[in-house]
Structure 1
Amino acid sequence: MEPWAKAVTGLTLLALLAFVSRFVVQGVLFHFIRLWRRAMPAQGWAPILLHDHVLVRIAKIVPSVVVQLGTPWVEHLPANASKAIVNVATALTVYHVVRVVATLLSEVNDAHDRHDGPKLTQTNSIKSYVQLGKLVAYIVGALLIAAAIMDRSPLLLLSGLGAMSAVLMLVFKDTILSFVAGVQIGSNDMMRVGDWIEMPQVGADGFVVDIALHTVKVQNWDKTITTIPTWKLMSDSFKNWRGMFESGGRRIRRAINIDASTVHLLTPEQKQHLSQVALLKDYWNERDGLLCVPNGGDPGQDTGCTPIAAHQVSNLHAFKAYAYAYLMAHPRISKAPGMLLLVRTMQPAENGIPLELYCFTSTTAWVEYEGIQGDVFDHLIGVLPQFGLALFQRSSDFGSRQIAQALRHHD
């Protein structure tokens, strides 16, 4: 055979060997891995490192390695052609190695999202770290591929990149800031996927659905998606409601505005009437002309009460004691230690005297919380007349004109 014919034949056989070797190696890997899985259930990192997708990617490395190692053995192949083929095969080997690393990182992220793997930190998202790892792998792979094709040392390319460091810092500014922010968010456990956060400055109010390297996606209550740059979560403040869900109670802090003109000291008849109210019997203990009205506070602690002279008790104070007793008796109001329960009068204002209720429900579900809160205030507003009290309500201009006309007509 002519020398050129021998070279072509050698390259053809080498290509055929490279093509067949991939499927042979892939079959051998799958065969032994399946035998190993049947003999010993995979635990820890094994299901990730030995995933079928990773094995397929590893098998794709073999053809380029075969060509890279077998080309020098092809007879009568010109040196320049042999060198070019080896360089291209080396570049393909690097490319497939990078793909293996990227696939492995993707499998790690998927295992984390499925709550698999060796006791990974399931509460924190690792997607930003995975994306950064892929970016580094792609950059290193691109440098090695370029060096292999140009037949130059990668160190020469790295020295050239060092001279362009200022440009690279400008190009990857957001990536660097986002990565640093992601590390701080993860290490300080500031936010997780599934947390409810509020960030009014960017219009975000809802659950975190994705934490990536560059962005964090929040699904708002109206089902829209707000995309926040990751670095912005460190430069601006945001509210995380996770603590509320973990505590098991949701705060009620709302006031009833009492008409100041209806507040007065109790008459003997009113005292006699209120003494028959079931919820007040345990809190009003008349001793030597004194009435004991509870202070409120933490239901898990003994807060005692404040003795008040019987002739000095107002209907507002009696209603405050009733509201506290009602909250203590309510089955859906939390009495756990640390859950403050308080009924207090605030500073009188132009809208009356605010009577504020401060307590926590025994559930964090929004719909149930609103139902409990509505029931509490519906009941308390309904019993106001029994204490001789009324809600403050600003009269309308039309009502004022009616009163004025009635007075003129009377005159």
Structure 2
Amino acid sequence: MEKSSIIKISEQTTSSIYQWTFNLIEAVGLSEKAAHILTSASLLISIFILLALIDYLIRVIFNSIVTRLIQRTRTNWDNYLLDNKVEVHLSRLILVVAAQQSLPYIFIGFPSFTSVLVKLLSVLMIFAVYGVVNGLLKTGRDIMRSSKGFVDKPVDSYLQVLQIFLIFVVGTLIVSVLTGSSPWSFLLSLGAASAVLMLVFKDTILGFVASIQVSANDSVRVGDWIEMPKYGVDGDILQINLNNVRVQNWDKTIVTIPTYTLLSDSFKNYRGMQESGGRRIKRSIQIKISTIRYLRPEEIEKLKKIVLLAPYIAQRENEIAEYNAQNQIDQTVLVNGRRMTNVGLFRAYIKAYAQKNPDIHQGLTLMVRQLAPNEHGLPLELYMFTKGTEWAFFEDTMSDIFDHLFAAIKYFDLEVFELPASDDLRLLVAESKVRQ
């Protein structure tokens, strides 16, 4: 049987139901207009009761049967359907379809009202379909989030782009239904307003382009630690949306910045540091220059008792003795030839101590260097990496190293530069008074 024939039979059946009810009410002795009103009212009440029954059955089926079956399964994608209320939107769609198939025929006696009702039900149908599709899109987003391949991708940006496109389609269809014109004519009319639309959605377009480029270049991911002092950003990325990026700073504050700033402004990403397995220590000890001097033989013998330094001293002694002998150096003057200094041995001790430290990464750069002297003395810089990137571990390791070095520096007859304190000034004044 052809589809057109089925539709005609359905319309004839509906018309016969309306006519039978109308004849039954008119037989009571009411006027034709009153009979039409009562017929429509009685059929409307009947349809509402039928729709309420259908709604009840759908809720029972979904809540009692489908929901329990989904909760018992081992897969997660069906749980995401429940979380995004896809079944709720689907039940509304079924009700709208049922209403659309029945309500227009109730008001056969009121053609003008029927046309308005048809348009209203068509709009409700579009919203119901939008709810189902939007729920499925959110379900797809949640499934991708649970996948390892998309855990650090801006999935929310992709979802928002699809949602914007879906809303645009829904708006176009609603305007087409209300005006009775073709959707294509409405789209053509928007061509003249394209400049206005570009201006209104400027941030959205920029954010969309930025999210695509960020994902394609893999310059930043969800979970990365980034730093942007201009915007007060210094923490982990929580979410990358179409319009903004949410970052949780280390003080637990939340900062939101536009997505396109990841392209227009520079930022520091610490992902490379985290992936390398080491975090850099770059801190100096300011050596008081007036305490730097050559070491006497008895002082060198005393420093040989330091286990970490003994092999280095033995090697240097051989090198210095060989050099001075080959060049016939007059060693009565200390500045002649090559000799060991207290700061040189201290620098060698720091390096040996770092190389034996189990918390220092031996596979990355490790050195102790002198920087240019300044008004605070000679900076002796430690440049190395800890064997771990956690903040607490990094700070503990660095503190332990400098605790040890500040205590050990006295063995090399060196002093750390520090500005005079009030006690130093009072002691100086007291000594000057005693001398007077």
TM range (shorter): 0.7 to 0.9
| Partner of residue 416 from structure 2, selected from 391, 394, 401 | 391
Give per-residue Cα distances to partners, 1:249-271, cap 9 Å, x unaligned: 21111111112222222221122
1:297 aligns to what? none
**Equivalent pair of 2:294/2:342 in contact (CA under 8 Å):** yes
Taking structure 1 as the reference length, the TM-score comes to 0.82
| Partner of residue 170 from structure 1, selected from 186, 199, 203 | 199
SS of residue paired to 1:313: coil
Deviation of 1:107 after TM superposition, in Å, equals 3.2
SS of residue paired to 1:187: helix
SS of residue paired to 1:312: coil
Distance change (3 Å), C-alpha of 1:328 and 1:72: same
| Partner of residue 84 from structure 1, selected from 101, 116, 125 | 116
Distance change (3 Å), C-alpha of 1:365 and 1:71: same
Deviation of 1:318 after TM superposition, in Å, equals 1.0
**Equivalent pair of 1:87/1:151 in contact (CA under 8 Å):** no
**AA in 2 matched with 1:201:** K
2:292 aligns to what? 263
Q: Residues 361-376 of structure 1: matches in 2 within 5 Å?
A: 361-376=386-401
Q: Residues 3-402 of structure 1: matches in 2 within 5 Å?
A: 4=36, 5-25=38-58, 27-28=60-61, 33=66, 41=73, 43=75, 45-48=77-80, 53-71=85-103, 73-74=105-106, 76-112=108-144, 115=146, 120-286=149-315, 289-290=318-319, 311-335=338-362, 337=363, 339-395=364-420
Deviation of 1:236 after TM superposition, in Å, equals 0.7
Deviation of 1:398 after TM superposition, in Å, equals 8.8
Q: Percent identity?
A: 36
SS of residue paired to 1:333: coil
Distance change (3 Å), C-alpha of 1:145 and 1:26: farther
Deviation of 1:272 after TM superposition, in Å, equals 1.4
- Which 10-residue stretch deviates more, 227-236 or 21-30? 21-30
Q: Which has the larger radius of gyration?
A: 2
**AA in 2 matched with 1:317:** G
**Equivalent pair of 2:367/2:384 in contact (CA under 8 Å):** yes
**AA in 2 matched with 1:370:** E
**AA in 1 matched with 2:266:** S
Distance in 2, Cα, partners of 1:198 & 1:43: 38
**AA in 1 matched with 2:100:** Q
**Equivalent pair of 1:258/1:355 in contact (CA under 8 Å):** yes
**AA in 1 matched with 2:53:** V
**Equivalent pair of 2:365/2:385 in contact (CA under 8 Å):** yes
1:305 aligns to what? none
2:32 aligns to what? none
Give per-residue Cα distances to partners, 1:13-50, cap 9 Å, x unaligned: 444444433444555566775697599x4647555457
SS of residue paired to 2:160: helix
1:296 aligns to what? none
**Equivalent pair of 1:30/1:55 in contact (CA under 8 Å):** no
Distance in 2, Cα, partners of 1:348 & 1:144: 75
RMSD: 3.3
Residue segments in structure 1 that go unaligned for 5+ positions in a row:
293-308
Give per-residue Cα distances to partners, 1:65-105, cap 9 Å, x unaligned: 22323356558344433322222111101001111222223
Distance in 1, Cα, partners of 2:297 & 2:184: 97
Distance change (3 Å), C-alpha of 1:277 and 1:144: same
Distance change (3 Å), C-alpha of 1:280 and 1:107: same
Distance in 1, Cα, partners of 2:241 & 2:403: 45
SS of residue paired to 1:390: coil
**AA in 2 matched with 1:266:** L
Distance change (3 Å), C-alpha of 1:44 and 1:222: closer
SS of residue paired to 2:294: coil
**AA in 1 matched with 2:171:** A
Deviation of 1:321 after TM superposition, in Å, equals 1.0
Give per-residue Cα distances to partners, 1:177-207, cap 9 Å, x unaligned: 1121122222333333332221110112222
Taking structure 2 as the reference length, the TM-score comes to 0.78
Work out the number of aligned pairs and report it: 389
Distance change (3 Å), C-alpha of 1:165 and 1:38: closer
Residue segments in structure 2 that go unaligned for 5+ positions in a row:
1-22, 27-34, 322-335
